[in-house]
Amino acid sequence: MATIYDVARMAGVSPATVSRVFNGVGVSVAKVAAVRQAAEQLNFTPNRTARTLRRQSSEVIALVIPDIENPYFTEMARGVEDVASEAGYSVVLCNSDAQVEKESTYLRIAIAEHMSGVIVAAASDRTNLDELLGTGRPVVAVDRSTGHDIDGVVMANRDAGLSATENLIESGYRRIAHIAGPEHIETAAERAEGWRRALAAHDLPSEGLLRFSSFRVDGGREVMEELLALPEPPDAVVAGNNLIGVGAIQVLTERGLTPPLVGVAVIGSLPFTTLSPSLVTVVRLPARHMGVMAARMLLDRISGDDQPARTVVLRNELLPASVSR
């Protein structure tokens, strides 16, 4: 690999001048031309590692998410990436697999690699950002808030749970279960709270109808089966996220209980569903937009913005099933 010295020699200038050419500072047109030509000829690319070491920061941001196979998070990643790459930043995607240890490893790498900032969807409420924040790096929380006083972008989760449930109530369902995500994850708890409130407001029963699960397809399947095995099974169900929804609908379909025979409302979109869209209620969560907002806030912080921490709450959109029992 050619270095800045090779280019300098070939162009008959000093290494500093070559550096300047590649960093947009004032250099005479003649030398710029000479340097560019030499660089071209030598196939020179500035060595980012050296630049990073010298500058103590790199144009890379880390995005740490708990499940790279969940379309909700990949949609969000697209939003982050679009904003970041527009601004000349690269995004490295890290999959914490919902494990705090893996998450810590990636956060440590972000520090050790001098990345400029981090966007993190916390693996759990035990996520520890102290070390990262101690380095002064900007960090933005997405999807789930953390215990720390930092910028964040979250969904209106309680509202989502509430409106999903109310929609089912309006459609005439009366025994509405909720398959929530893990109990210690904020989004899950909040959505469950919304579900509970909706039922309470309409004097409907909730006892025995709330189940915590994993935010995954098999979690949704398992719990749906349990619910159907109940002496008095529910006539409708609110799925705590997209994957739980998929699992629940799969089980219902296999049993011939295709919605709207059993009412289904899902918190989150079902991008790859093959079901006719009018059969289930969906609360669309603006995942891409969440990524966009988070990236913008992070970039602001990186360029020195030091306002007090902000939390943005994103509204969601109810797409009611158009067919009911």
Partner DNA sequence: ATGAAAGCGCTAACAG
Partner DNA sequence: CTGTTAGCGCTTTCAT
By the criterion CB under 8 A, which residues form the site for a second copy?
Answer: 1, 43, 45-50, 52-53, 58, 68-69, 71, 74-75, 77-78, 81, 85, 90, 92-95, 102, 106, 108-109, 111-114, 131, 134-135, 217, 242-243, 246, 249-250, 253-254, 270-276
| Single residue of 33, 37, 55, 131 touching DNA by CB under 7 A | 55
Given a second copy, DNA, none, residue 134, with its beta carbon under 5 to 8 Å by kind, binds a second copy
Residue with smaller CB distance to DNA, 16 or 201: 16
Residue with smaller CB distance to DNA, 4 or 267: 4
Map residue 247 onto helix, strand or coil: helix
Cα 141–Cα 142–Cα 145 angle in degrees, nearest 5: 60
Residue with smaller CB distance to a second copy, 14 or 58: 58
Given a second copy, DNA, none, residue 94, with its beta carbon under 5 to 8 Å by kind, binds a second copy
- Give the nearest distance from C-beta 322 to a second copy in angstroms: 12
Number of H helices, E strands in the chain: 12, 12
Q: Is 51 among the residues that bind DNA (CB under 7 A)?
A: yes
Q: List the strands of the sheet with 210-212, edge to edge.
A: 210-212, 176-180, 236-239, 263-267, 281-284, 317-319
Given a second copy, DNA, none, residue 275, with its beta carbon under 5 to 8 Å by kind, binds a second copy
Given DNA, a second copy, none, residue 289, with its beta carbon under 5 to 8 Å by kind, binds none
Q: Is 54 among the residues that bind DNA (CB under 7 A)?
A: yes
Q: Which residues pair with 154 in a beta bridge?
A: 313
Q: Which residue has the tokens 């029963």?
A: 205
- CA distance linking residue 157 with residue 146, whole number of Å: 15
Q: How far apart are the first and last CA of the chain?
A: 69
Given a second copy, DNA, none, residue 126, with its beta carbon under 5 to 8 Å by kind, binds none
Residue with smaller CB distance to DNA, 50 or 230: 50
Given DNA, a second copy, none, residue 31, with its beta carbon under 5 to 8 Å by kind, binds DNA
- CA distance linking residue 203 with residue 159, whole number of Å: 18
**What is the secondary structure of 52-113 as a DSSP string?**
HHHHT-EEEEEEEES-TT-HHHHHHHHHHHHHHHHTT-EEEEEE-TT-HHHHHHHHHHHHHT
Q: Is 46 among the residues that bind DNA (CB under 7 A)?
A: yes
**Contact predicate 155/285, CB 8 Å:** yes
Sign, CA torsion 43/45/49/51: positive
DSSP 13: S
- Give the nearest distance from C-beta 192 to DNA in angstroms: 45
Cα 229–Cα 231–Cα 236 angle in degrees, nearest 5: 70
Q: Which of 274, 262, 225, 230 is nearest to 247 (CA)?
A: 225
Residue with smaller CB distance to a second copy, 246 or 297: 246
Total residues at interface with DNA (CB under 7 A): 30
Among 3-11, 79-87, 154-162, 183-191, the segment contacting DNA (CB under 7 A): 3-11
Given DNA, a second copy, none, residue 96, with its beta carbon under 5 to 8 Å by kind, binds none
Given a second copy, DNA, none, residue 106, with its beta carbon under 5 to 8 Å by kind, binds a second copy
Q: Which residue has the tokens 């529910």?
A: 234
Q: Which residues pair with 130 in a beta bridge?
A: none
Within positions 13 to 32, which residues make up the interface with DNA, using CB under 7 A? 13-20, 22-23, 25-28, 30-31
Q: Is 53 among the residues that bind DNA (CB under 7 A)?
A: yes
Q: Which residue has the tokens 């001098």?
A: 114
Residues that bind DNA (CB under 7 A): 1, 3-5, 12-20, 22-23, 25-28, 30-31, 44, 46-47, 50-51, 53-56
